[in-house]
């Protein structure tokens, strides 16, 4: 049984449901719990308990657990939609634009990576909200990055460039302990472009 919090401690105060940062605090707490316990293993009561409020107060901000996950997915989903716009633009979308979109999506979704790894239900929610499955988007991205009429070597380089973008973005975010720095983004993009030209 959890020990009650000391009411003199500033973190022990009940959050005011009208505070503008309460919604953000819910998202931060939910992301942490989803990463540790899984999306399906976390209840609304768990989130409310960590927030130090009631489930009724939490429902004031989000009508369901899936709505909380939807709030967490808003940034990455917007990134995927920008990527789709670039893919649909055809010749107008440059390789830099496409790789940059993947960098931004990866940076925005850094906190969600553990959730997706541990809980396929969370990843299925992403696919349900996209106009195309994420696998199809990635296949289109590889084809676009590889260029017109790619041979086997071009497809391998395109996949390698995307792997560099994803792994390097996660590493840069972890190294900085915060948002992706513009200089790091530029270095990641340059590294991916070097892979394509090798």
Task: Give the H/E segment covering residue 171.
Answer: helix 152-176
d(CA 41, CA 56): 20
Find out whether 39 and 122 touch, Cβ atoms under 8 Å. yes
Find out whether 141 and 83 touch, Cβ atoms under 8 Å. yes
Listed by start position, the domains of the chain span: 15-63, 74-197
Q: Which residues are within 8 A (CB) of 147 and not within 5 positions of it... i.e. 6 or more apart?
A: 95, 154
Short-list 185, 178, 183, CA closest to 164: 185
> What are the pLDDT digits (tens) for 83-99?
888 778 765 678 888 89
d(CA 137, CA 94): 16
Residue 56: pLDDT band with limits 50, 70, 90: very high
Is residue 8 over pLDDT 80?
Answer: no
Q: What integer pLDDT is reported at residue 90 of this predicted model?
A: 67
Class at the top of the CATH hierarchy for domain 15-63? mainly alpha
Rounded average pLDDT over 133-155: 89
Short-list 198, 168, 162, 174, CA closest to 186: 168
Residue 105: pLDDT band with limits 50, 70, 90: confident
Q: What percent of the chain has pLDDT over 90?
A: 41
Rounded average pLDDT over 177-187: 92
Q: What integer pLDDT is reported at residue 17 of this predicted model?
A: 44
Exposed e or buried b per residue across 31-63, where buried means at least 16 C-beta atoms within 10 angstroms of its C-beta: bbbbbeebbeebeeebbbbbbebeeebbeebbe
């Amino acid at each position: 049984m959890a020990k009650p919090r000391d009411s003199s401690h500033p973190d022990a105060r009940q959050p005011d449901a009208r505070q503008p940062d309460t919604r953000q605090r819910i998202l931060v707490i939910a992301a942490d719990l989803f990463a540790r316990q899984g999306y399906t293993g976390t209840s609304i009561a768990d989130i409310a308990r960590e927030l130090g409020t009631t489930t009724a107060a939490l429902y004031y901000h989000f009508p369901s657990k899936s709505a909380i996950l939807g709030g967490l997915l808003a940034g990455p989903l917007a990134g995927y939609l920008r990527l789709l716009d670039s893919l649909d633009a055809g010749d107008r979308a440059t390789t830099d634009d496409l790789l940059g979109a993947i960098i931004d999506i990866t940076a925005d979704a850094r906190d969600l990576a553990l959730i997706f790894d541990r809980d396929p239900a969370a990843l299925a929610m992403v696919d349900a909200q996209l106009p195309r499955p994420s696998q199809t988007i990635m296949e289109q991205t590889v084809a676009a990055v590889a260029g017109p009429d790619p041979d086997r070597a071009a497809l391998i380089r395109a996949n390698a460039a995307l792997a560099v973008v994803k792994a390097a973005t996660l590493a840069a975010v972890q190294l900085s302990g915060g948002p992706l720095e513009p200089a790091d983004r530029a270095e990641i993009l340059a590294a991916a472009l070097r892979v394509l030209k090798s």
